[in-house]
Amino acid sequence: MPSNMMDMKMVQCDCGFMMQSHNENEIVKMTQMHVKDTHQQDMSAREVKGMMKPGMMMK
Ligand SMILES: [Zn+2]
């Protein structure tokens, strides 16, 4: 069974902002933008990936 396509990931920020996608790079970009805009912080892709958790399946 091909599971890659359904492999959702999510990141939740301390402030409650949450993003979810099956595209890790998209989550990384969105999280970096959010953290920069909202918290005036820079976050590396590695840090964002460290925050990633399995997302919820939506069927
Ligand atoms: Zn935040």
Q: Is 1 contained in some domain?
A: no
Q: Is residue 13 part of a domain?
A: yes
Structural domains in the chain (count): 1
What pLDDT was estimated at residue 56?
A: 79
Per the structure block, which two tokens stand in for 22?
Answer: 């099956």
Asked if the structure places residue 29 within a domain, the reply is yes
> What does the pLDDT look like over 2-58, one tens digit per residue?
555 568 999 999 999 999 999 999 999 999 999 999 999 999 999 999 999 998 776
> What distance in angstroms lies between residue 1's CA and the mean position of ligand 1's atoms?
36
Residue 3 lies in a domain: no
- Enter the DSSP assignment of 4: G
For residue 52, the CA-to-ligand 1 centroid distance in Å is 14
Distance (angstroms) between ligand 1 centre and the Cα of 37 equals: 9
- The amino acid that residue 43 corresponds to is M
Look up the domain containing 40 and give its range: 9-54
Residue 19 CA to its chain's centroid (Å): 5
Task: Answer whether residue 21 is part of any domain.
Answer: yes
Dihedral pair phi/psi, residue 26, rounded to 5° = -65, -45
* 59: in domain: no
C-alpha 55 to ligand 1 mean position (Å): 18
Q: Which amino acid is at 33?
A: M
